[in-house]
Structures are given as C-alpha cells and as structure tokens.
Structure 1
Amino acid sequence: MQKKWLGLGMSLILATVIAGCSGNDSNGNGASATNGPSEGTKATPTAEANKPPVTLKYWTDDRHDQEYINEMINKFNETNEDNIKVELTVMSENYAQSVDIAFSSNQAPDVLRLKGANTPVFFKKGYLEPIDGFLTDDIKAKFDKVILDGVNRFDDKVYSLANNGQTLRLVYNKDLFAKAGIENPPASLQEMVDAAKKITEAGKSEGVYGFALNFKNPKSAFDRSIREILSLSGHQGLGFDLKTGQFDFAPYSQVIEYFKQMYADGSILPGAESLDIDPLRAQFAAGKIGMYLSFSTEPGVYKDQFPTEINWGGALAPTIDGQIKGKSEIVSAGTWLGISAQSANKEAAWTFMQYMYGDEILKSYHEKGFGIAVVPAIVEQAANPDINGMEGFLVGEHDSIWPVAPTVTPEGANYADAFFKYVLAGGDLQAITTDLNARYNDALSKAVEKGEVSVTPNPAFDPTKPQG
C-alpha cells in the first residue's frame, strides 16, 4: 500500500496544475499535536505572562474533521508559549459569501480554510497574505513539489501549502441494494436510475428512497456528483472543454437528464431540495437512502460524526454509458490553510499554521481518514486509514489529478442553479445549455481580456492521461 501512496506523491510531483466535503478519533495519539513551533514544550504561566495575549479566528467550511481540528486547536492553545488562543468557526454552505461579508466589513478571520475552488477567487479579491517570508528552507524543501502556479502560488508568491486531496465515489447501502435485488453498484447512469427506482419501490413504505443529494446548494450537490461522473466519462467535470479552451455544457446536460428522470420517478428523497449535507448523512446512516455521491471524507463521517451499523461501501461513480473513458478526478489537493490580509496578527497566524503543518498532524489527518495525503514526505510515512468503508475510496488505477478549469462568474444563474431548475420544473434543455455556453464563454473572454485568467486550448488532451 505504501507504494500506492508513493505513486500518488510522484504523480503530484509531475502535475503542473491541480483541480478544485466529514469526525474525530478520540482515541488518537496525543503526540500528533506536538509538532510545530512549540514541539516538545509546555507553556508556563511565566512565559505566557510575558507575552501579550493574541486571539486568532479560524474559519472553515469543513465539518467532517471538526472534532479532530478542535482537538488539535485545544492542544495548541494549551501548549504554545506565545499566549495565542485560536477560536474555530465552522461555517455552513454559505462559506464564500460569509467570507466576502467579513472582508467588506473589516471583520475578517485571521486564518481561512482554502480549497482549489476558492483560493484563486480569494487571491483576486485581495483577501490573502503571502507567506513566503515565513517559509524556512526546511519547509520549502518539504512542500517544494506541491507548490504550484495557479493553485497555491500566484504572481510568484505563495499563499497556502498542501495537505491532502479527495477522491469522489458513489456511496451506497449494500443491504438496501440486496433487498431490492441489485447485485452490484451501477456502472452506467441508466443503471443508477433503475437501481434508485427499485430501492424506492422496495422500501418506500419504510421511508426509504433510492437516491439523494444536498440540493439545498445545487452547486455543492453537483460538484460532488456530476463532476465525477463526467471525469470518468472522459469530460472535464465543471463544464470546461480542455481541448477547445471553451465552456461546453453539452456533456453536463446528458447527465442532468438522468437526474431529472430520478426526480420524475419519485426516487429522490422527498425534501431533498432543502437538504444540507449533514442532514443527508444522518438519513443515510439511519438506512433511509440507497445511494449518493460524495468525497472520501465520508468514512470518517460514519465512524465518528454519524456512527452507523448499516452495511455500506464506496464504489466508482457510474459513467454516462457504462464505459470508463477518463480518470476519476482527485480534487482539492493543493491547498489547506491561509492567512488573511486583514489580520492584525499575521506572525501569530503563521505560528498556528506552522503547528498545523507539522508532520504528525498531517500524517494523522491522513491515517484518520479525513483526506488523502499528497505531500511526498507524508505519503512515504503514512499508513492507510483503518476505517470501515475507506477501502472503496483509496487511490487506484482510475484516479488522477486533472488540469484546473478557469473560474469565471457569468451574468445570471450559474450552471448548477440553471440545471437544477430544469430537474424540478423541466423546460428546453438545449436552450438552457446553449444559454449557459454563451454566458460562461462571454465571462471567460472578459476575464482573459482583463488578465484574470489565461486559457490555452489543448487539442491533444487525453482524459485517460489527464496529466499528459
């Protein structure tokens, strides 16, 4: 297994770009929190009394690792000699909007959770402080192969460091599949539609439905599901065509038709339109959902956050026609923590960041199943997570990093809202797709003209070898 993780590390070394959701093991080794600037030390009342107190606010939209991160923060608060106290705030699905409001009102946090999708946006808005001045030679050597332009480095300045990545899988209840007479997880979208209908017919009287997603936030729902279906089907998962350097939502619209069919069949959990991800997980843990798609954080969720006795597993997402024509995308692999440009305590924020990026915390983060390690030095020493269900999420032959797609903001509804409206109310799908292509490519052209993004078409792009 170590060779498999090493292979992932080497693939990250070769990558030029990296693309862009959960619990705590209270029996974990306490030593995992002693790495960093205060390693092997214990703050004394005298030491703390000699330093002015500093309170740091850390905001994140991760809930799957909340208890573990709280544990690590508590240890930091107890052991650091700089009189620093960190306060953790876990946001809901409106994380980006909350960050915008905080910065516009000069109430920004000191440390932010950064991901592949939000880092370029936060950088452009001036929210982030470069950390180059804090990086020692040892830290540079440790993270050198995973500091990448357009991911955590912009205009020759570094804003975050890597920790882990996430695979995406179909999460399914094996007992409900068996009860409905289904032997295997679906390989095609038609098989998924059929399975969802059979599971619903077999369990509806008991409140069981075949499929669900956190449709309270359509983009969050589709980016953990359709994205993966498309990448395995040979298409970039966010509607961007890497060969032409243009947005093309035609493949996306193919997948949407099957989601609409599940909704029309009554196979989707009632009320899913207002369902957030944690209530969905609670329903799945209670045995009320046959399947959904999500990240490799799910095994940790069902170990600690929503302990369950159901027989469940993870499998590759279905493809459009049942044929695998591309690699399953490993996402959010290049960033983790960043410092706010508005912070009045940047040095203290770095002290906390350095602690969090210590070897033992990165290693235990992987081994507890919160994410898959991508830093080569951690990959080499970390053991595979010993968590029920994790075997279905481990990196294998069908997983890879994909080139990052440009982030643009079109006028009007985004692709997820537009397509979800079609799922619920119908309409002219071709017209919706054409409109999305026009608005997204117009936004792309304007962003290129302003120098906000650069696009290079790659006619030879091979989805089976997305790193080239």
Structure 2
Amino acid sequence: MKLKKYLGVLLSGIMVLSMAACAGTDKGQTAAPESGQTGGTKKEQAKGEEGSGDITKITMWSNDQHDQAVYEERVKEFNETIGKEKGISVEYTVYGSDYYTTLDVAVTAGEGPDIFKCNKIGNYAEAGYIMPWEDEDGLKGLVDRFSEYNAPGYGEFGQKTYSIPIRVTTYGLACNMDIFNKYGLKTPETWEEMRACAKAITEGSRESTYGYALAMGYTSYNYFYLNLPNAASVGDEYFNHTTGRYDFESLGGFFDHLQGIIDDKSMFPGFETMDGDTARAQFSAGNVGMIGVMSSDVTTFKNQFPCDFEWVVIPYPVQDASNRYKEPIGVSMSYVINSRAAKEGYADKVAEFVNYLYSDEMFVATNDAQVDISILGDEITSQSKAESLDPNWIKFSDMDVYCIKYPNPDGDLSIEGDSYQDVYNKILTGIVTDVDGALKDLTERYNKALDEAIASGKVNIDDYIDSNIAGKMKWGQ
C-alpha cells in the first residue's frame, strides 16, 4: 500500500461532487458550444491561429462559475507575462450544467480541450484520452509536491498520476444570529441542542420562521449534510477506512437526530424537494434559523443571496460534545491533460501553464478572493495579505477543524437494489420506517458488492485503508 501523509486540514469515489456547489446556476455562464465547435481542432490547439508566429494556443475548460472571475484575471496575467515570453496563449472557457455531457462528446471525438475538469479519470485514462503527468518532465515537481494529498480515486489511476487535487470544499452550519439573539439562543454544539434551537425558533415565531432547512433537492445533500457531519460524531464515514468495510449502521443516530427535527415540525416545509438555492434564498430572507452551508456560500451570501443580518458558520453539532472528531472532507475534482499534447509535442507548453495553475500565486489569489480553499492549507493562508477577509471564510479555512480523507470504492461497485442515496431519501421522506433494518441491509449489500469487486481485481482494498484515520480525525481544539 502506498501510504499518504494526512495533514489535519482540510469527494469519495471520484469526488463527487465537485461538485454541484461549484456548478452553481446557469446564469451568467458561457453557453455550450454549438455542434462542430467543441474546442478547436488539434491543429488549432497545437499551432495557434494563422499569423500568430510561434504562439501555441492551449485551451482549458471548466464548469466552475464561483471562481471564474479570478481565473480569467490570472489567465490574462499569464498570457501577458509568462505566456508572452514562452510563446503560449491560454484560452479559458467556463460552461454550465451540461458541462460533462459537452466534454464527453468533445473528448471522445478527439476535439476536447488541452486541460479540463474531469469526472471520469479512470475511464479516460484507460481509453488513452488523458496523459500521465509523470510522462512530462515539467510536471514531475508538481507530482512530488502534491503526492501526500493524492490517492487512487482522486487523481491517481493504475499507479500513475493523471490529476492533482487543487482545492477542498469545507462545510458547516450557518446560524442567523438575529434570530438566535431574538430568542436568547446560543449556537448549538450537540444534536440535542440543535433540535432544541430549531424548536424554539419555530414555535417562538409561530411557524413564520423555521429552525432548520435540509435541501434534499440538492444532488449532494447526502454527502455534505449527512455523511460528513455524522463522521464528526463517529470517527469515519459509512466506509470505515480502518477495516476496509462498509458500515451504514453508524448513521443510525444521525437519522434519529434529523427525524426529531422533522417530528417537531421545525424543518422547513417542502424540504423533500427543495434545492440548494431555494434553501439559501429562504435563509437570506430570514425565514430559516439554521442551514447547512459550504465554503463557497461566503460569496453566495454576499452576491447571489445577500444577507442583511449577521450569520456565523459553526462546525456541525455532534452527538456528544466531549467526543468530537474533525470533520472529514474529500478533495474536489481537478484538471487533467489531454494526451494529444504529448502525441503532438507541446506537452512542455501545457506544463508551463499547469505549473502556474498550481502556483502559490494562484492559490493566494483565489483564497484572498474568498472563492477557493487551497489543498495546501496553511502554506497558502499564511501568505495572505488580504486585510478584510470575511470572518466566516476564516472559519471555513480553519485547518484544525477538517481533515482530508481517503476516497472510498463506491464508484467501482455494482450494487444490487437501491443505492444508499435512494435509501436515505426513503428514510427521510417516511417511505422507509425501519431505519435500523434499512441501514443494516445497505451494509450487507455494499459489502457483498465490495467483496465481488475485490475478487475480480477491480478494487485493491489497500488503496482505501488507512490504519491511522482515528488519529488523524482526533479533535485537537
């Protein structure tokens, strides 16, 4: 097993997730390319436009709107400085909710961009669409520097590096302090206290304001607002990285916690179908006392759904305040490199820009703009010269609260019956009432599928075991 050094700092399987929070809404984003205009031909990308001399045009695609302005500014800076000196011009394009469909069509047709966000690293690597970073001398330094943050299921596949984690997305519980102060409440530390706060807010307002909003319509709600928060109480996710076995029964207490809020009628009505933006809008309008949030919401509550009240983010409450663990997080999906760059002889040019993309300069810029938290943690935040960072951004960046976890083998399993996401939905909507039985069944079915994947050679379980996970998640504050 290749052991990775975990830092107590701050997106299982292929990280998930990267997330729906990054994709945002479709407003203000670049339209998807028209048919036949997917990203330029190989000749255009390799040689640049006619009359451009020795300029190599490099194309880069992403679906991240939240940091688009910062990236556009830094790409422009690169083109006018390093790029001008080295004969490189980078064209950066951001697409919307259909990004991965558009990308798949372009890549499989041989017309994909040179650098792109990818959610199919294993599939693309096997097909030869993307190149290992070890194959280009100019990228080996990055591979070495970031190796402790990487793992199979993140950026590694088949003992090769195809991507490097670039950032993390942290999460917590946002509290409307105007509402809390109105009812004389303190921010909760335990599930019991959170339920009591939610009930006091709902009953005190005569149901004009609700205590908590769980946006089940948000695709990744189960990851950010169930699996990860519960891990802070039990010491690991539903996949146990010590034993290498699934353990969905560890979520039994957390479902009881949420059911209590629902039974008290303190959960915002319509939570079963409410999407993330609707929940944020209700919170910013003062109709919800508490809501699950991610680090990207610092700018969301400034720009898209501005709050005219003080809100603070706190670690999600735990079952027992005297037995808390750090909150685990996975790394966000990051960039890969089209194998065409190596085949056509301009991988060195791509490497020049990728080194800039992963530079401290870039990381500090996105941190100070309060849009991205670098995978490097304190190495970057300690360099910040920003004078007015939002207090909540600083809390989201607190490296003593979070730890990076290994991915899990979910993506390599063939599950018979409902997925865990389906079962979670049925529990929270009341379709399934035997919660313990449902979680036990999940554990058995996922472990059966895991055993089959191990036996077939599809999963190397050593890639997912970390015997030191308990120590790494130990709460230190």
Tell me the TM-score normalized by structure 1. 0.76
- Residue 96 of structure 2 is aligned with which of 90, 95, 101? 90
When structure 1 is superposed on structure 2, of 430-439 and 102-111 the one drifting more is 102-111
Residue 422 of structure 2 corresponds to residue 394 of structure 1: no
- Residue 434 of structure 1 is aligned with which of 435, 440, 456? 440
Distance in structure 1 (CA, Å) of the matches to 2:22 and 2:49: 39
Distance in structure 2 (CA, Å) of the matches to 1:198 and 1:120: 49
Q: Which amino acid aligns with 2:212?
A: F
Look up the SS of the partner of 2:7 in the other structure. helix
Distance in structure 2 (CA, Å) of the matches to 1:364 and 1:405: 31
The aligned residue for residue 248 of structure 1 is: 247
Residue 190 of structure 2 corresponds to residue 188 of structure 1: yes
Where in structure 2 are the equivalents of 1:69-148 lying within 5 Å? Answer: 69-73=71-75, 80-81=83-84, 82-91=88-97, 110-113=114-117, 128-136=130-138, 139-140=141-142, 143-146=145-148, 148=150
When structure 1 is superposed on structure 2, of 398-407 and 413-422 the one drifting more is 398-407
Distance 1:136 1:18, change over 3 A: farther
- Residue 337 of structure 1 is aligned with which of 314, 335, 338? 335
Conserved in 1, the CA contact under 8 Å of 2:13 and 2:408? no
Distance 1:377 1:209, change over 3 A: closer
The aligned residue for residue 180 of structure 2 is: 177
The aligned residue for residue 7 of structure 2 is: 12
Distance in structure 2 (CA, Å) of the matches to 1:91 and 1:399: 29
Conserved in 2, the CA contact under 8 Å of 1:13 and 1:145? no
Distance in structure 1 (CA, Å) of the matches to 2:52 and 2:140: 31
Q: Which amino acid aligns with 1:415?
A: Y
Distance 1:442 1:394, change over 3 A: same
Uncovered stretches (5+) of structure 1, i.e. residues with no partner: 1-9, 24-44
User: How far has the Cα of 1:380 moved from its partner?
Assistant: 5.3
Conserved in 1, the CA contact under 8 Å of 2:326 and 2:401? yes
Distance in structure 2 (CA, Å) of the matches to 1:126 and 1:412: 33
Uncovered stretches (5+) of structure 2, i.e. residues with no partner: 16-20, 24-47
Distance 1:163 1:311, change over 3 A: same
User: How far has the Cα of 1:11 moved from its partner?
Assistant: 5.2
Look up the SS of the partner of 2:175 in the other structure. strand
When structure 1 is superposed on structure 2, of 444-453 and 416-425 the one drifting more is 444-453
Q: Which amino acid aligns with 2:215?
A: N
Distance in structure 2 (CA, Å) of the matches to 1:48 and 1:198: 70
- Residues 173-223 of structure 1 deviation map (CA, whole Å, 9 limit, x = unaligned): 11122223312x2222222222222222234654x32212331145x1121
- Residue 445 of structure 1 is aligned with which of 451, 467, 473? 451
The aligned residue for residue 405 of structure 1 is: 408
User: How far has the Cα of 1:255 moved from its partner?
Assistant: 0.8
Distance in structure 2 (CA, Å) of the matches to 1:75 and 1:275: 40
**How many residues are aligned here?**
427
Distance in structure 1 (CA, Å) of the matches to 2:361 and 2:466: 43
User: How far has the Cα of 1:248 moved from its partner?
Assistant: 1.1
User: How far has the Cα of 1:319 moved from its partner?
Assistant: 1.1
The aligned residue for residue 258 of structure 2 is: 259
User: How far has the Cα of 1:58 moved from its partner?
Assistant: 1.0
Residue 359 of structure 2 corresponds to residue 358 of structure 1: yes
Conserved in 1, the CA contact under 8 Å of 2:331 and 2:404? no
Distance in structure 2 (CA, Å) of the matches to 1:100 and 1:19: 16
Distance in structure 2 (CA, Å) of the matches to 1:73 and 1:112: 14
Distance in structure 2 (CA, Å) of the matches to 1:56 and 1:137: 18
Distance in structure 1 (CA, Å) of the matches to 2:158 and 2:193: 47
Look up the SS of the partner of 1:86 in the other structure. strand
Distance 1:123 1:295, change over 3 A: farther
Conserved in 1, the CA contact under 8 Å of 2:65 and 2:94? no
Distance in structure 2 (CA, Å) of the matches to 1:390 and 1:194: 27
User: How far has the Cα of 1:466 moved from its partner?
Assistant: 4.1
Look up the SS of the partner of 1:129 in the other structure. coil
Distance in structure 2 (CA, Å) of the matches to 1:266 and 1:59: 41
Residue 223 of structure 2 corresponds to residue 223 of structure 1: yes
Conserved in 1, the CA contact under 8 Å of 2:330 and 2:406? no
User: How far has the Cα of 1:315 moved from its partner?
Assistant: 0.8
- Residues 288-325 of structure 1 deviation map (CA, whole Å, 9 limit, x = unaligned): 22112232222233234433222101111111234434
Conserved in 2, the CA contact under 8 Å of 1:18 and 1:401? no
Distance in structure 1 (CA, Å) of the matches to 2:385 and 2:330: 21
Look up the SS of the partner of 1:314 in the other structure. strand
Distance in structure 2 (CA, Å) of the matches to 1:290 and 1:106: 50
Distance 1:120 1:176, change over 3 A: farther
Distance in structure 1 (CA, Å) of the matches to 2:366 and 2:203: 40
- Residues 54-106 of structure 1 deviation map (CA, whole Å, 9 limit, x = unaligned): 5735132x4432443344455567775545422211337xx767766766677
Distance in structure 1 (CA, Å) of the matches to 2:247 and 2:445: 11
The aligned residue for residue 203 of structure 2 is: 201
Look up the SS of the partner of 1:262 in the other structure. helix
Distance in structure 2 (CA, Å) of the matches to 1:141 and 1:127: 19
Q: Which amino acid aligns with 1:452?
A: K
Distance in structure 2 (CA, Å) of the matches to 1:99 and 1:129: 16
Conserved in 1, the CA contact under 8 Å of 2:72 and 2:92? no
The aligned residue for residue 34 of structure 1 is: none
Distance in structure 2 (CA, Å) of the matches to 1:393 and 1:142: 27
